[in-house]
Chains A and B, each alone.
Chain A
């Protein structure tokens, strides 16, 4: 993890010192790139699409709504400090993605290609921005090979550490519910991922990954995060949840957040989901605007996600049944 920060800081310094790479086009500069990110456009706050994208983004980067937090939490003792740990996780994440990440890909892309091209690239997905635009940029700067190497090593570290975290709940599930050894659980998951990832690699350009990213990495996270908030604050009980969170904490969470968690978060997520259902659900479900030649791959991606989801539901069903039988026998 420290290596990730060191590489990122080296690249940020390089980006900031680039200035205006082509003096004949003064509007294409690193400063314009920062302006592109930071100049506020308050009219966008009224667009629920932005809220859905922002919620999906922050849930994804903090691993909320995908079971990782639950898996990690299960290893904690009741007196462990989750307030400072949670705050540190969120703060370090924001430092990495807003301060460091926000100072690399977009500013450098604007400096070399201008705002219009960068916007077009960003619309093609963050994949295009990170993997397609950055190599072009590295070709044009001195010692570009070294910075390119650092950039892709950085993405590799970021990806592999996140994958370890995201795989943990599946590994723990296989260990706890099916009595697998850790080695066997890791190998089983690794093999399944290796098989599944072939589809993503070969059908990437047909929108296979983008479709998965939309449903599993953005929309699905909002749905699950909404369910988690309701279960934690309304079914488990807000006061009990609050005591659980603060127990063992070196600092107390300001009471203001109690009301945010109980009322604002579920209400906001509910509004975003309802807005989606009314305005976007039908065109997105019917794949309006998707190129004819990509349709089969996008449908394939959906069927693949349904199979994966169905497999997990089936495994949970078996685990549940086994547990009930065990409990029945012990009674």
Chain B
């Protein structure tokens, strides 16, 4: 079957999306301006 182009694109998009979410959450958790 191999690794098709569409598969590579899906994988990259998923990794970017999840990585982006993790980075965003880390940023919010570490540098949140809201006083707790």
Contact = CB atoms under 8 A, between A and B. Distances in A.
Contacts, number: 75
Contact of A38 (B7, B18, B29): B7
A95 B22 contact: yes
Given A81-B34, A250-B28, A251-B28, A31 B2 contact: yes
B2 A88 contact: no
A87 interface: yes
Given A31-B3, A34-B11, A91-B25, 11 more contacts: A27-B2, A35-B2, A38-B10, A38-B11, A39-B6, A40-B6, A87-B24, A88-B25, A88-B26, A95-B22, A98-B18
B1 to A, nearest CB: 6
Interface of A: 27, 31-32, 34-40, 80-81, 84, 87-88, 90-92, 94-95, 98-99, 115, 248, 250-251
Interface string B1-24: 111101110110011001101101
B36 to A, nearest CB: 8
A98 B26 CA distance: 18
A34 B22 contact: no
Nearest to B20: A91
A35 B7 contact: yes
A250 B32 contact: yes
